[in-house]
Chain A
């Protein structure tokens, strides 16, 4: 039996795996960065509130 030429499907499969994993890692990085920014802002706000008191 002749081996089927399914290289395009294989390429699609591996590309999809790396793209999905890459997007997930990127989403975690962005969420982490945004939360750190929020934390800094909130800490500064808290400090300024304490100084006013």
Chain B
């Protein structure tokens, strides 16, 4: 595998820097929320990771379409990378939501529409890897992955929209929320700075991790080719 390109090396350092700044903004710069206290600070990372999580699932669906049209394996590598990175970020989203819910709702988990759709989305993508691993033929595997991520990608907009369409206790910070919502708050100007910077920071980190994961996929493919040649 070739040396990391300079742009990727720079992106690695930028990712660390923006993560540090975002942590500072969330922990120090943003004011303490009057009712919930310090636990509200996880909200910035909760939204940041949710954004890149759902974004990756949509990207994987688009990569799936691109693969089905072009049959180019590069799209498969791209789709797998997007799903893997997003699954990790979306797991963080769910875990942070659960940690926030304990003091805010007095429970770690409840089968609310948003929590349910988020859990289903995460499980869909965990299953994606388990099912892919069972297919030997690379082309069949790629075709399956493309169709699966295309259908699975529908869960991302559903998860995003569910708190805006159904009665739910999950708060909506931007936009109008359900009357049953618990734990909502209005963002001050400083909170908005921390919020939008977290969105930016996690987008940069997502791109960086995605790039690394695509490179890993290429290396994996080369090794598989060499193994095939060696066995002949």
Interface residues on chain A, number (Cβ under 8 Å): 29
A46 with B230: CB separation less than 8 A: yes
Task: Tell me whether B187 is interfacial, beta carbon within 8 Å.
Answer: no
Task: Tell me whether A7 is interfacial, beta carbon within 8 Å.
Answer: yes
A39 with B219: CB separation less than 8 A: yes
Interface size class of B (residues with CB under 8 A): 35 or more
Give the secondary structure class of A's interface.
Answer: helix
A43 with B226: CB separation less than 8 A: yes
Given contacts A3-B35, A43-B226, contact A13 B103 (CB under 8 A): no
**CB-based nearest B residue for A32:** B216
B35 with A4: CB separation less than 8 A: yes
| B94 smallest CB distance to A (angstroms) | 11
Cα(A3)–Cα(B104), bound, Å: 12
Given contacts A24-B209, A35-B216, contact A17 B102 (CB under 8 A): no
Cα(A9)–Cα(B96), bound, Å: 9
Contacts of B42 in A (CB 8 A): 9-10, 13-14, 17
Task: Tell me whether B32 is interfacial, beta carbon within 8 Å.
Answer: yes
CB contacts between A and B, total, < 8 Å: 105
Contacts of B229 in A (CB 8 A): 42, 46
Which residue in B38, B39, B209, B219 is a CB contact (below 8 Å) of A36?
A: B219
| A53 smallest CB distance to B (angstroms) | 13
Cα(A53)–Cα(B99), bound, Å: 63
Given contacts A14-B42, A17-B45, A39-B226, contact A9 B32 (CB under 8 A): no
> Nearest 10 CB-CB pairs, A to B?
A6-B39, A13-B42, A42-B226, A10-B38, A9-B39, A6-B37, A4-B37, A13-B99, A6-B103, A7-B38
Q: Which residues of B pack against A, CB within 8 Å?
A: 1, 23, 26-27, 32-42, 45, 49, 88, 91-92, 95-96, 99-100, 102-103, 205, 209, 212-213, 215-216, 219-220, 222-223, 226-227, 229-230
